[in-house]
């Protein structure tokens, strides 16, 4: 019986560590150093920018950006649409989740792509706003 409860705790702990990502909504949003509009404005985030959700406090959400900086944003500025940002230069977006598969297109570092499918075996399916889709390694993007 003790083993059952220990296993249950481990499973719950694993779920608690799952990262949650959201993106800036349809308009740019201000990131603050505190959960208040009276806080110092630290950055204006462009629409679609992915952010890791740390926690929510009332109408405010503490987030981490791709560079690792922490800040606060009004929760209403976030969208559940999931995007990723390319972190590798001249990233080959491939036709399948294999190193040797044909490139569909090349993505520049810093480009935002929509997450088309969840992560599987170290690869993620992404979609360009022009409609092209393909696979990239999870180590080549941030926000998954």
Assess contact for 24 and 79: CB atoms under 8 A. yes
Q: Is the pLDDT of residue 14 over 80?
A: no
> CA-to-CA distance for 144 and 142, rounded, in angstroms?
6
Q: Looking at residues 34-52, what average pLDDT do you find?
A: 96
pTM over 0.85: no
Residue 18: which pLDDT band, with cuts at 50, 70 and 90? low
What is the pLDDT, as a whole number, of residue 121? Answer: 87
Q: Please give the share of the chain, as a percent, with pLDDT higher than 90.
A: 81
CA distance linking residue 114 with residue 32, whole number of Å: 25
Confidence of residue 17 (pLDDT cuts 50, 70, 90): low
Cβ density class 66-86: b for 16+ within 10 Å, e for less: beeeebbbbbebbeeebbbbb
Position 132 scores a pLDDT of 96
For 82-126, write each residue's pLDDT tens digit.
Answer: 999 999 999 999 999 999 999 999 999 999 999 998 888 899 999
Question: Is the pLDDT at 7 greater than 70, yes or no?
Answer: no
């Amino acid at each position: 019986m003790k083993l059952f409860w220990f296993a249950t705790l481990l499973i719950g702990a694993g779920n608690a560590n799952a990262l949650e990502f959201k993106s800036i909504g349809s308009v740019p949003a201000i990131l603050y150093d505190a959960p208040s509009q009276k806080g110092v404005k630290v950055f204006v985030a462009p629409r679609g920018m992915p952010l890791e959700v740390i926690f929510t406090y009332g109408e405010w959400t503490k987030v981490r950006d791709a560079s690792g900086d922490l800040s606060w944003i009004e929760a209403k500025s976030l969208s559940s649409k999931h995007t990723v940002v390319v972190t590798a230069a001249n990233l080959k977006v491939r036709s399948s989740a294999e190193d040797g598969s044909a490139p569909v297109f090349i993505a520049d570092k810093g480009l935002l792509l929509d997450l088309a499918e969840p992560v599987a075996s170290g690869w993620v399916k992404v979609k360009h706003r022009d409609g092209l889709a393909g696979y990239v390694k999870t180590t080549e993007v941030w926000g998954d």
